[in-house]
Amino acid sequence: MVTSTLREAPPPAGLLPQAEPGSRKPDSDPMPRSRAPGSLKHMIEVNHLTKTFGRLHAVRDLTFRVQPGKVTGFLGPNGSGKSTTLRLILGLNTPTSGTATLGGRQFRDLGAGLRHAGALLDAGDIHPGRSGHAHLWALARGNGLPRRRVDEVLAETGLTDAARRRAGTYSLGMRQRLGIAAALLGDPPVLLFDEPLNGLDPEGVRWIRTLLRRLAAEGRTVFVSSHLMSEMSHTADHLIVLGRGELIADEPLQDFAARSATGELEDAFMEVTATSTQYGTGGAR
Amino acid sequence: MTTAENTMAPARGTPAGRARMADLVVAEWIKFRSLRSTTVTLAVLVAVYLYLAYRGAQDGYQVWQSMPRQLRPAFDPVHGVFGGPTWMLAMIVAGAVGAMTVTGEHSTGLIRATFTAAPARRKVAAAKCAVTAATMTVPGAVIAAGSYAINEAVLAGYHISIPVSGADTARLILSTTLVTPLCALAGMALGAVIRNTPATIVAVCVLFVFTPFALKSASTRWAVDAANAMPFSFFSRLAVAGNAHLVGGVESLTAAWTALAVWLAASAVIVISVMGWRDA
């Protein structure tokens, strides 16, 4: 397959004793103190996660794990519940039932969030009146991170020259980079990216690909949603696939692609999600 | 392009445990001060009210002039400047500025970045309340002290000197100083519940301007009590000098101060609990 030279053998997983789902511990064990990125603590675990909005089942009884040291692709058609799942993992929404934990703990119980997980959920999640630098500095300062980190992530994402401009003047690609800069601020062991490639130019796409591979090679847990199948087939090691809020695949990328006669990820995705859609709508065409 | 080598150095700073309240407060302060529109709005507000104080003092002098001589000792020298309906504009502006510290995060989606960085939502909300209240006290204090000084200077220019007791002066300046932070916190509470900026600003106007008059014109006892518990009513009661003639309104200074304290506390409680509880 592709980019195999970049792949790291994933470390054995699931060896660490995990807290009971839903258990709440005081934030007395700040994990980054003993952390080398890639420590097995930093698995994302989703257990029987269900979220309903009124009568709409956004996600239903999801159970999966996202392992460190790999890029895990998160696929599914529009409205299949990917973004909701990411929000539930980050404690932005409260699950109707089930749990989502990072390193065995619910995200809302963690203190300095940026040091535990970095996330790009939507490139628009910034105030247009604030400069990129001020945006990042406020987030960093709230986590007790030094100002130096802001300059570092700005350099990493190529935004140094634009940092003092109001974010409202940024292009979509620049806002995307700013969101990624925010995710990297705390040097976190877990990274979640929702459609990070939106609006990026070819150089940006290549940069993201390299970045994701490197973050995983450093032993971090990298969970990334995308609709760009060709890009995913270049980048992901493992796939979690949703259809209509339910889990329809959790397997290595090669195995998933092999579901299609052509061996292409895109073909496999179309076939698998078409089936799930049929079941989900009770035979609607 | 990217400099991959230096970027992933472990972040060093304070130990990564709890989000410290002090850090969150500073973070909210960075957010507050980094929006130029807020600073401009508050600067304009101060300038407008210092001008209104000058005009109000002139009006006060006109009133004094038109008074029969024997009534002049009962003239309230601060009445032209403090406690009148002109303060409703300041209440609305302060309420809108406060509201936008909350609705600005919801409408842009910034709230998701905020809570991802600091999952302890109640602490974030408390820090936001503290920063907004403290910051809004500054324009309030400048307006209060400045208005008082301008009024005194104008009346002195007309050789009118009616002493105001120290207690009255202190109450006048303190209560006027608190108009802006109180209204900002109440605006934040509305913003936390409503989330939508235009709808919240309409609610601010209804709450601060429409409600006190609408309730006052009602005849039932509870409606009058409710009207007296509205910020405009108790500020009007507090911002008078001792020899003022009160017509109706809040029964006592104690009742007015109590209502003020309840509004401050209730607003903060609403902001903290609603932001802590609802899906972002």
Over its length of 285 residues, how does chain A's per-residue pLDDT go in tens digits? Answer: 443 443 434 433 333 333 334 333 333 333 343 344 444 468 999 999 999 998 889 999 999 999 999 999 999 998 899 999 999 999 999 999 999 999 889 998 887 899 999 999 998 899 999 999 999 999 999 999 999 999 999 999 999 999 999 999 999 999 999 999 999 999 999 999 999 998 889 999 999 999 999 999 999 999 999 988 889 998 999 999 999 999 999 999 999 999 999 989 999 999 988 876 544 444 343
Give one DSSP letter per residue of chain A, joined into a string: -TTGGGPPPPPP-S-SPPPPTT----TTS-GGGG--TT-GGG-EEEEEEEEEETTEEEEEEEEEEE-TTSEEEEE--TTSSHHHHHHHHTTSS--SEEEEEETTB-GGG-SSHHHHEEEE--TT-S-TTSBHHHHHHHHHHHTT--HHHHHHHHHHTT-GGGTTSBGGG--HHHHHHHHHHHHHTT--SEEEEESTTTT--HHHHHHHHHHHHHHHHTT-EEEEE-S-HHHHHHH-SEEEEEETTEEEEEEEHHHHHTTSTT--HHHHHHHHHHHHHHHHTTS--
**Percent residues over pLDDT 90 in chain B:** 63
Q: Give the pLDDT band of residue B242 (cuts 50, 70, 90).
A: low
Note whether residue B11 is domain-resident.
Answer: no
Note whether residue B15 is domain-resident.
Answer: no
For A55, counting Cβ atoms within 10 Å of its Cβ (0-12 exposed, 13-18 middle, 19+ buried), the class is: exposed
CB-CB: which of B4, B19, B104 is closest to A112? B19
Q: Give the pLDDT band of residue B243 (cuts 50, 70, 90).
A: low
Note whether residue B204 is domain-resident.
Answer: yes
Which residues of chain B does A167 touch, with a Cβ-Cβ cutoff of 8 Å? none
Note whether residue B210 is domain-resident.
Answer: yes
The pLDDT of residue A267 is 92
The pLDDT of residue A36 is 46
Q: What would the two tokens of residue A218 be?
A: 């450093």
Residue A128: closest CA among chain B residues belongs to which residue? B108
The pLDDT of residue A176 is 94
pLDDT digits (tens, 9 = 90+) for B111-124: 999 999 999 999 99
- Residue ranges of B 224-253 with Cβ closer than 8 A to chain A: none
Note whether residue A65 is domain-resident.
Answer: yes
The alpha-carbon gap from A125 to the nearest alpha carbon of chain B, in Å, equals: 4
The pLDDT of residue A187 is 94
Note whether residue A210 is domain-resident.
Answer: yes
Q: In the predicted model, is pLDDT for residue B7 greater than 50? A: no
Is the pTM higher than 0.80? The answer reads yes
pLDDT digits (tens, 9 = 90+) for B188-214: 999 999 999 999 999 999 999 998 888
**Percent residues over pLDDT 70 in chain B:** 90
Which residues of chain A does B124 touch, with a Cβ-Cβ cutoff of 8 Å? 142
CB-CB: which of A117, A125, A146 is closest to B109? A125
pLDDT digits (tens, 9 = 90+) for B54-99: 999 999 999 889 989 888 877 888 888 987 888 999 999 999 999 9
Note whether residue A114 is domain-resident.
Answer: yes
Note whether residue B9 is domain-resident.
Answer: no
A73 in contact with chain B, both atoms CB, cutoff 8 A: no
Number of domains in chain B: 1
* Residue B170 lies in domain: 20-29+36-239+247-277
Note whether residue A29 is domain-resident.
Answer: no
* Beta carbons of B16 and A33 less than 8 Å apart: yes
Number of A to B CB contacts under 8 A, please give it: 177
Note whether residue B108 is domain-resident.
Answer: yes
Q: What would the two tokens of residue A281 be?
A: 């709508």
Q: Taking residues B10-37, report their average pLDDT.
A: 78
d(Cα B120, Cα B124) in Å, to the nearest integer?
6
The residues, any chain, with a CB within 8 Å of residue B45's CB and separated by 6 or more, are B90, B93, B94, B139, B143
d(Cα B46, Cα B93) in Å, to the nearest integer?
11
Pairing of β A71-75 and β A221-225: parallel
Number of domains in chain A: 1
List the single best residue of B28, B116, B121, B274 to mutate versus A (max A Cβ within 10 A).
B116
CATH number of the domain where residue A47 is located:
3.40.50.300
* Residue A221 lies in domain: 39-126+188-280
